[in-house]
Structures are given as C-alpha cells and as structure tokens.
Amino acid sequence: MDGLLIDSEPLWREAMIEIFNKVGVPMTWESAQQTMGLRTDEVIAYWYRKYPWEGKSQEEIKEEILQEVDRLAWEKGETLPGVHQTIAFFKEKKLPMALASSSPMQLITSFVKKMGIGAHLQILRSGMQEEYGKPHPSVFISTAKELGVHPDECLVFEDSFHGLVAAKAAKMLAVGVPEENMKGNPKFQIADVLLNSLEDFNEEVFNTLANQH
C-alpha cells in the first residue's frame, strides 16, 4: 500500500522524523529508510533498541506517528499513477484482489477510503494481525487463505525489498515497483518482473508472468 498505491512513504518519514526527534532519536530522511516495509511496532522497537528514550511508551509513540501519517495522507497524499488502471485490469479478468500491508488496519481502511478503491478489494489484511511482519511471509499466506486460493496462484505487487522477500518466501509471483531512490538497486532483482511504475503493467507483462507460473 504505502509507496505502491499511495505516495505515503514520504509522509511516514516526515511523521517519524518529527516524532522520534522529540524523544531524542536522531532520525534523518536517509535513516528512516532503513525500516521501510516493516510493521509500525517493529519500526518503533528497532529505533528504541538503538536509542532508548524516556517519558513515552512505544505504544504512545506508535499512536502519535499513526495519527500524524493519517493527517498528512488526507492533507497531501496522492494515489500513485497506474493504480486505478491496474485494478481495472484485474477486475476485467474477474480475478480477486486483496490488500496486504504492514500498516495497521486503521490506516489501511483510511487510505483505501481516500483512494476510493475499497469496492474492488475482497480482503484487507494488516501485518499487525500476524505474529511476524514482513519479510516473514505470513501476511501474504493468510491473505491467500482468506481469498480461498493457494499461495502459488497469487501475484504480489511490492515497492519494498522486505515485501518482495515475503512474497517470494510465500512462493508467490512478485512484481517489484521500487520507489525512485531504490530503482537500480540489485536487491530488487528477486522480483519476477520489475516495473518503473504501475502504469507499465499491461497484458504483455501479465502474460509473461502467467508463463512463469
């Protein structure tokens, strides 16, 4: 979701930099990228281990970050190019669609409402519902189970390396759509197909993936 469907990754970083720095975590735009794709609670635990703070619990910091990200998303978040056309592509093929995100469910439902795509998604699943977040594959496996399909019948779209690792560990086909500063990173070669944007997804790409199945 974040960074693939809506341009919320910069908003996450903006919120984290502001809130973490208030409790003494010297976070920068660059260092915030280290935990991209992880669950919010795992991000907070990661930074707490590096820079233990006092005065506020990890849960309080999490809630502050989530509220700020939600506010920023409604203020300036934009649905990314190619999202609606890709959803329409799969809808025309009568293939079920789900959203499996590391974000908490409160943000998933809020962002889906903002993007106006809820009617097309059969399942919304948060990594917070799992014992382990990405790169563990459980959120994708659980989502496939809810959809009533086998994992090896699924195609995942991901913008993060952690997400791609999770998809491949679940034995799913994976399309990588890395954000701008990750384009060209060799780690993303684990994807079955790499795209510059969801706008580049089409029948030809779909058939290429189908032939790999």
Q: Can you give the residue ranges of every domain in the chain?
A: 9-76, 83-212
Q: What is the pTM of this model?
A: 0.86
- SS3 label, residue 3: coil
Residue 16 confidence class, pLDDT cut points 50, 70, 90: very high
Q: What is d(CA 208, CA 59) in angstroms, rounded to the nearest whole number? A: 44
Domain 9-76: assigned CATH number? 1.10.150.240
Q: What is the CA radius of gyration of the chain?
A: 17
Q: Within 13 Å, how many C-alpha atoms sit on residue 119's CB side?
A: 3
pLDDT tens track for 148-204: 999 999 999 999 999 999 999 999 999 999 988 788 999 999 999 999 999 999 999
Rounded to whole angstroms, the Cα distance separating 4 from 49 reads 29
- For the chain, how many residues are written? 213
Q: pLDDT confidence of 95, banded at 50, 70, 90?
A: very high
Whether residue 204 contacts residue 185, with contact meaning beta carbons closer than 8 Å, is answered with no
Q: What is the 8-class DSSP label of residue 50?
A: H
pLDDT of residue 193: 97
Please give the CATH superfamily to which domain 83-212 belongs: HAD superfamily/HAD-like (3.40.50.1000)
Residue-level pLDDT at 121:
98
- Report the SS3 class of residue 46: helix
CB 43 within 8 A of CB 16: yes
Paired strand residues for 101: 126
Q: 181, exposed or middle or buried, with CB in 10 Å at 0-12, 13-18, 19+?
A: exposed
Tokens of 63: 């809630």
| Cα–Cα distance for residue pair 194/176, rounded to 1 Å | 5
